[in-house]
Amino acid sequence: MHAPLPTGDAPLRRLLLLLVLFGAVGLVAELLLLEHWDDPWQWTPLVLLGLVLALGGLLARRPTRGLLRAFRALMGACLIAGVLGVYLHYRGNVEFELEREPTLAGVALLWEAVRGATPALAPGALAQLGLLGLLYAHRHPLLTDPPRDPSLDHAGESA
């Protein structure tokens, strides 16, 4: 078992959460400016980021064990969606480059696909945001301390 981090980590946790929220606002703005909503797959990061802003705002205001668990799951989803997004962007660029120049292969194809019209590595920012959020929730005191049962507060007292 790992010992919980000292309670003095609260300022660092708050900073991590603020960085997640700041990053989410920036990514939402970028996706909206790029009109990143042509097909259902493109809605995925917008929906996830909207949830990040909502849950992150609630956590900043009043963290609870349930919110932290939901936030941790959401950050895992952001990580997965970011990795999947890199793959989808890369695959789309490969298809485009092969239509344009069917003889491309190997490193030349890889290079053109990574530099293609769709920014192949951009979804990595969503994955990075997920990792940052997971770091915020890692060994959080609300998740590591045993829950307190209020009904036990008066146990043993006679009426």
Whether the predicted pLDDT of 27 surpasses 80: yes
- Tokens matching residue 15: 């900073």
Cα end-to-end span (Å), the chain = 39
Predicted pLDDT of residue 24: 98
- Tokens matching residue 130: 């997920």
Predicted pLDDT of residue 3: 60
- Tokens matching residue 157: 């007292």
Residue 16 CA to residue 18 CA, distance in Å, equals 5
For 53-85, how does the pLDDT look when each residue is reduced to its tens digit (9 = 90+)? 999 999 999 999 999 999 999 999 999 999 999
For 133-150, how does the pLDDT look when each residue is reduced to its tens digit (9 = 90+)? 999 999 888 888 676 665
Q: Calculate mean pLDDT across residues 38-56.
A: 95
What is the Cα Rg of the chain in Å?
A: 21
Tell which residue, 41, 55, 53, has the closest CA to residue 86. 41
Q: Calculate mean pLDDT across residues 98-118.
A: 93
